[in-house]
Structure 1
Amino acid sequence: MKNFFFPDRAHSRWLILLIDQMIVVWTLFISIVLTNTLNYTDVFNSGNAVYVALYCFIAAGVFISLRIHTGIIRYSNTEDILRVFLAVFVTSLLFVSVNKILSQRFQLLWHQMDKALILNFFISSSLLILMRILVKGVFLFFKELKSETKENILIYGSEKKAILIKKAIEQNGDSDLNIIGFIDDNRDRVDKYLEQKKVYHSCSVALLKEKHNIKKILFAEDALNTLNKKKIIDICVNEGIKVIMVPPSDKWLYGKLDSHQLRDLKIEDLLEREPIKLNKKNILKDLSGKCILVTGAAGSIGSEIVRQALQYSPKSVILCDQAETPLHDLKLELEDNFQDANVKIFMANVQNLNRIRTLFELYKPEIVFHAAAYKHVPMMENNPAEAILTNVLGTKNMADISMEFGVEKFVMISTDKAVKPTNVMGASKRLAEIYIQSLNSPEIISTGEITTQASRTRFVTTRFGNVLGSNGSVIPRFKSQIEKRGPITVTDPEITRYFMTIPEAVQLVMEAGAMGKGGEIYLFDMGKPVKIVDLALNMIKLAGLTPYVDVDIVFTGLRPGEKLYEELLLIDEEIIPTHHPKIKISQKVAYNYLYVNQIIKDLIVLNNDGNDLNMVKKMKEIIPDYISNNSRFEELDLLVAN
């Protein structure tokens, strides 16, 4: 029966118009009868038939003009009801006006129908609205019967965005979701009804789960502030309710919410972070119309720098990397998403000075984002020679060539592991920082090693912690281990890290790069440090599983070079605030270029000898606070100290 009255395809709008006009005609006759004291003989005559026909003709025009017949009745709302009232009211006014004009021009007898029209307004509009309410009610009745086989869900919020989600789900005939109600902490809305659904307080989630077997709650991605987000998500995660994120309505396909657009909550969504506000005018001024070079462009940070840089209308963007397949994949992505962009691919290893020189001669970049680096701590602990060649010599090559070709700005991407390093990777990045800072010292010009033109290059360093979702991040590994039902491997129960998402890290890189005058190390507000074991626990819960029951967690011990806690600031560095609340400047530490340049040359000579111990010993002599941890190089600390 439901399929007969409510087929998946809506009934013809002309059928709706016909039904509306039938109601209009009969209600007008009824009104005339009632206002004529039920005297049928005075009502059913040719004169009144003309007036009814004229009224029906005007009503049809008004209803078509106001598109009353185009709405799907089963989804009627308050706006549709108001439009029905307006249509009947406008029809009555037009009928009176037209009737008077005709009676005056053609000397037709004007029947006093004021009382009938007033009565008809209330009867006609009431029946038209009642018809819509009855149709919607019957539809909801059949829907409730069918919903017993659907999955019960809740929607977070009770504002416009939450209501839009509810309507989108209900209008999707293929949806297998049944909405129980809304969740909101707004006391003015709790225990009230919106769109026939009750608004519950967040403390009711556990009871609703038991009563209705709730397994999912839907969130609008752009409708959460930090405090409420953390509170309600914590409740859901602890109750084993899956959190589903709904994209903003302007991203729905063809204006409709598709089930494929719904996504599970990511661990990145749990970061306690307010949206980053950028000075886009400053960034636009810095990048617009410029030739931009990104090294390490195929990596997670480098590729995001490319994506964001392309949004600021650069003249061209050069993608430099030695990783062939990831670079090719990025090229295909950019061709799909930035079809009009001028993107150039240049494969090169930053260790190869001649190849880098060819790049600069060919494209003459004006802005350089240097993201190319080896970053995996245990890998570099076992291969220190490569860490030095790429992270130190590679950075030196890029910086020297940038000065030689008069690059306007050079932005280096560093890491919190460069602060009080306990591993080769962190120490190599600290050496790179030192070299970059030394290039802003005044004695460079007098050395004769570079031209006076090089003094125009401003060198800026950005330093931040771990990036969620980056290549080599714990997130992909934990996901893989959870899919296999564990165990999840964590090095130590106390190990903590600072985390950012890739987009927000790069946004801050762009902002810091734009404001940099030269010589600064910019530090980013990483929020609160996160215990890796807590990260693992949350990921298990987000997967709808129970920690230590469905998925175990085992502790494997710190890996070579790892430390429990990361820092962003050296002892001899002081913080200077900037106009951006999430960006601070490390007080400049003066480094003599001649000295730094010579020690790096000495280090490269040792590196070429192939003796890891001698090379790492030299690094420890250069960086006094480089103390190895859980590493084969710990024995060198005593030698250096003595």
Structure 2
Amino acid sequence: MNYKSILVTGGTGSFGKRFISRILEDYPGVERIVIFSRDELKQFEMANIPEFKKHTKKLRFFIGNVRDGERLRRACEGIDVIVHAAALKQVPAAEYNPMECIKTNILGAENVVNAALDCGVKKVVALSTDKAAAPINLYGATKLCSDKLIVAANNMRGNREVDFSVVRYGNVMGSRGSVIPFFMKKASEGVLPITDSDMTRFNITLDQGVDMVLYAMEHAWGGEIFVPKIPSYKILDVANSIGPNAEKPVIGIRPGEKLHEEMITETDSFSTIDCGKYYVILPSVLPWDVNEYMKHFNAKYVEKGFKYNSGTNTEWVTVEELRELIKEHVDPNFKVVE
């Protein structure tokens, strides 16, 4: 990696901490990492984690909100890469506080684009979500808008040497607000509430998410939405992997929730290519020659009508595999609650 300075919005979150840890471990040539976030307590706590505390010369903790374009622009001075991970992502909270979600997720993305264009940034990689594909809740709709803003920014760059791309993936195993930590807390009570026994979700580990962003940083030409090939799980299997003997009452789907998640819609199939490890949704306005791109990545178009849905996925995580993944990626002391 030739980049010397990286800014991570939402850098104190689950993804941000793991991403920065990987940069510190694997890329000694990176000289400065700016953690841009709005919570000074989380910044203080992160700065005092031993693995980060020993890198005080490289890390810069910058208090700010992506809603504040002027502050973000100041933070981006001298930055080579922006990894945009800041978002309001709790579905019920977004439904109840829609304008707050719009200000952070949509206007915040616009501010990231403007800061990158104004400050000579070389690369922007924004994190998306499966909920942005055919969205039915406000959070998903705001992330779809964010994706469109990031992709369209490639049409505004003029002679600037900058490109913008998006990575879109499913539920991160063990991240804040995900179902696995919730079930692990509830298991001792003997009751694990299930929204719907047929519900499915995509599953990705935090390190796989970081790998995607690193891949986009190295290989994106600008305008792509990268989608990983990852397995699905059934919510009922997650419950059975944690508390097999617990009661599992069905409580119904929450407002704004889907039975199955989708990362590539049937309509997307007309502009989606298979690059081997990842699918790539191409931009509607191509900033480069598509044939050259296809040849470079040895890619091929997916079949018309293809869709990537957690319920019709061909790869599934079993109950036993879930237990191993929880132990490896969530809690090494995890034990099944009998």
Match of 1:514 in 2: 218
For 1:439, the aligned partner's letter is A
Judge conservation of contact 1:320–1:346 (CA < 8 Å) in 2. yes
Tell me if 1:482 matches 2:179: no
Tell me if 1:557 matches 2:252: yes
Offset of 1:587 from its aligned partner?
2.4
Match of 1:366 in 2: 80
Change (3 A) 1:316 1:334: farther
Residue of structure 1 aligned with 2:115, choices 394, 398, 401: 401
Tell me, what secondary structure is at the counterpart of 2:147? helix
Residue of structure 2 aligned with 1:424, choices 133, 138, 160: 138
Offset of 1:555 from its aligned partner?
1.4
Give the 5 Å matches for 1:374-385: 374-385=88-99
TM-score, normalization by structure 1 = 0.43
Residue of structure 2 aligned with 1:576, choices 273, 282, 287: 273
Judge conservation of contact 2:223–2:286 (CA < 8 Å) in 1. no
Give the 5 Å matches for 1:440-451: 440-441=154-155, 444=156
Match of 1:388 in 2: 102
Match of 2:27 in 1: 312
Match of 1:493 in 2: 197
Tell me, what secondary structure is at the counterpart of 2:165? strand
Q: Deviations over 1:608-632 (max 9, x none)?
A: xxxxxxxxxxxxxxxxxxxxxxxxx
Offset of 1:326 from its aligned partner?
2.2
Q: Deviations over 1:191-240 (max 9, x none)?
A: xxxxxxxxxxxxxxxxxxxxxxxxxxxxxxxxxxxxxxxxxxxxxxxxxx
Judge conservation of contact 1:512–1:583 (CA < 8 Å) in 2. no
Judge conservation of contact 1:438–1:591 (CA < 8 Å) in 2. no
For 1:564, the aligned partner's letter is L
Offset of 1:329 from its aligned partner?
1.8
Match of 2:171 in 1: 466
Structure 2: segments with no counterpart, 5+ residues? 288-338
Tell me, what secondary structure is at the counterpart of 1:306? helix
Give the 5 Å matches for 1:516-531: 516-527=220-231, 529-531=232-234
Structure 1: segments with no counterpart, 5+ residues? 1-284, 446-451, 542-546, 593-642
Change (3 A) 1:334 1:509: farther
Match of 1:333 in 2: 49
Change (3 A) 1:307 1:336: closer
Tell me, what secondary structure is at the counterpart of 2:154? coil
C-alpha distance in structure 2 between counterparts of 1:358 and 1:376, whole Å: 28
C-alpha distance in structure 2 between counterparts of 1:556 and 1:456, whole Å: 51
Tell me if 1:502 matches 2:217: no
Residue of structure 2 aligned with 1:566, choices 258, 261, 268: 261
Match of 2:302 in 1: none
Give the 5 Å matches for 1:97-246: none
Report which structure shows greater RCO (CA 8 Å, sep ≥6): 2
Match of 2:312 in 1: none
Greater Rg over alpha carbons, structure: 1
C-alpha distance in structure 2 between counterparts of 1:338 and 1:585, whole Å: 38
Judge conservation of contact 2:171–2:202 (CA < 8 Å) in 1. yes
Judge conservation of contact 1:375–1:425 (CA < 8 Å) in 2. yes
Offset of 1:560 from its aligned partner?
1.1
C-alpha distance in structure 2 between counterparts of 1:572 and 1:456, whole Å: 31
C-alpha distance in structure 1 between counterparts of 2:273 and 2:129, whole Å: 19
C-alpha distance in structure 2 between counterparts of 1:439 and 1:537, whole Å: 45
Change (3 A) 1:480 1:587: same
Q: Deviations over 1:294-334 (max 9, x none)?
A: 01011111111111122212111000111222222221125
Match of 2:72 in 1: 356
Judge conservation of contact 1:367–1:408 (CA < 8 Å) in 2. yes
For 1:588, the aligned partner's letter is P
Q: Deviations over 1:325-371 (max 9, x none)?
A: 2222221125556447510000111001121122124xx21111000
Tell me, what secondary structure is at the counterpart of 1:318? strand
Change (3 A) 1:427 1:492: same
C-alpha distance in structure 2 between counterparts of 1:390 and 1:438, whole Å: 18
Tell me, what secondary structure is at the counterpart of 2:65? coil
Judge conservation of contact 1:296–1:320 (CA < 8 Å) in 2. yes
Change (3 A) 1:591 1:517: closer
Identity of aligned residues (%): 33
Tell me if 1:345 matches 2:61: yes
TM-score, normalization by structure 2 = 0.79
For 2:114, the aligned partner's letter is D
C-alpha distance in structure 2 between counterparts of 1:373 and 1:489, whole Å: 27
Offset of 1:409 from its aligned partner?
0.1
Match of 1:410 in 2: 124
C-alpha distance in structure 1 between counterparts of 2:101 and 2:176, whole Å: 17
C-alpha distance in structure 1 between counterparts of 2:281 and 2:38, whole Å: 32
For 1:535, the aligned partner's letter is V
Tell me if 1:539 matches 2:242: yes
C-alpha distance in structure 1 between counterparts of 2:7 and 2:225, whole Å: 20
For 1:438, the aligned partner's letter is A
Tell me, what secondary structure is at the counterpart of 1:456? coil
Residue of structure 2 aligned with 1:302, choices 5, 9, 16: 16
Tell me, what secondary structure is at the counterpart of 2:102? helix
Number of equivalences: 283
Tell me, what secondary structure is at the counterpart of 1:568? strand
C-alpha distance in structure 2 between counterparts of 1:474 and 1:386, whole Å: 24
Match of 2:281 in 1: 586
Judge conservation of contact 1:293–1:319 (CA < 8 Å) in 2. yes
CA RMSD, aligned part only?
1.9
Judge conservation of contact 1:294–1:319 (CA < 8 Å) in 2. yes
Judge conservation of contact 1:286–1:514 (CA < 8 Å) in 2. no
Tell me, what secondary structure is at the counterpart of 1:585? strand
Change (3 A) 1:463 1:286: farther
C-alpha distance in structure 1 between counterparts of 2:255 and 2:56, whole Å: 46
Change (3 A) 1:561 1:336: closer
